Amino acid sequence: MTFTRLTELAHGGGCGCKLSPAVLRELLADRSASMPFSQLLVGTESSDDAAVWQVDDRTCVIATTDFFMPVVDDPYDFGRIAATNALSDVYAMGGKPIMALAILGMPLGKLDTGTVQKILKGGEAVCAEAGIPVAGGHSIDSAEPIYGLAAIGLCAPSEVRRNTGARAGDALILTKGIGIGVYSAAFRKVALPADAYEEMIASTTLLNRIGHELAKDDDVHGMTDVTGFGLLGHALEMARGSRVRIAIEQARVPLLAHTEALAQRGFVTGASRRNWESYGEGVTLPGDLPPWRRDVLTDPQTSGGLLIACAPARADEILRRIVDAGYPRAGIVGSVAAGDAGVDVV
């Protein structure tokens, strides 16, 4: 038995399935900010992308898990997107993945084994591109289809990059265009143009491997990947973690080609508005900002780009390096200043 639309089996899709920032804060409110393990360099204290354990003075282990429900109907593409998204957390911390474990939940009796195999093969293809094996995993019978990875990576202690590393004066670079949530909303309503679908797949299956290379540069101070909380949400996490004020220049934020037109037609996700309700008090907007643009800035990105804080004198050089590495929509989107932690859209 097969279904023509995989997304019809799920109430949401991609990183739009994430719990809202407000709910996560409530769930983690009683967690200790300081972990009683000296080797745990990064835990839950700053909402960073992955956990980091220092083995010795040469090696850190990076561990993360990420999974979600289908954002597209093609099972192979779904597997590729979910795997790319999961590995992004390792790259965002400055690491290089070394292996992954599959996380699989499938509604037995609603999907045939051939469809599930295509999902797994999609994930394996991305891991092969990253040069790592899918070395095992776990599967369950679930009400909705779920797929993702637990990923392990390595880096040197000096190469760990956190969302707390931004410094006053830094420039901010975003490596991918914004609009995946808008595209997914249009897709679910069968209103996404064919060329936009191709653009969405190209963006969501583009590995953020440049993060591992940039982490070797001392002038790259902080990184995070932009996923379910949208550009403003992840910028706010960086601002709060780094205790700085971040300015996002709305006109410089790269958008996927159809994002503006589709958002103006009302193709936005419920997650975009939940995001704003969760963290809007930490963001200032210009009075004339049109509602669609706010929706785009809070748009949940499935397998989005990296937000990078770097020394301003080298921002253009670092941007050229990113573009040359295969990220054509990368751009400088803002700056960092001293001040109360928060984000200003200008």
Count the Cβ atoms, other than its own, within 10 Å of residue 293.
21
Homologous superfamily of the 6-159 domain (CATH): PurM-like, N-terminal domain (3.30.1330.10)
Q: How far is CA 53 from the centre of its chain?
A: 21
DSSP 49: S
| Topology adopted by domain 171-345 | Phosphoribosyl-aminoimidazole Synthetase; Chain A, domain 2 (3.90.650)
Per-residue confidence in pLDDT tens, the chain, 346 aa = 444 578 777 766 554 555 556 555 666 666 554 456 788 888 777 777 789 999 999 999 999 999 888 999 999 999 999 999 999 999 999 999 999 999 999 998 888 889 999 999 999 999 999 999 999 999 999 889 999 999 999 999 999 999 999 999 999 999 999 999 999 999 999 999 999 999 999 999 999 999 999 999 999 999 999 999 999 999 999 999 999 999 999 999 999 999 999 999 999 998 999 999 999 999 999 999 999 999 999 999 999 999 999 999 999 999 999 999 999 999 999 999 999 999 999 9
Query: What amino acid positions are annotated as catalytic residues?
Result: 15
Q: Are strands 283-284 and 342-345 parallel, antiparallel or unpaired?
A: parallel
Stated as kind and residue range, the H or E segment containing 309 is strand 306-310
Q: How far apart are CA 92 and CA 90, in angstroms?
A: 5
| Domain boundary assignment for the chain | 6-159, 171-345
The amino acid at residue 265 is R
Identity (one letter) of the amino acid at 76? Y
Q: Which helix (H) or strand (E) holds 324?
A: helix 315-324
User: What does the alpha-carbon distance between residue 307 and residue 320 come to, in Å, rounded to a whole number?
Assistant: 15
And the tokens for 105? 């939940």
**Measured distance CA(184)–CA(189) in Å, rounded:** 9
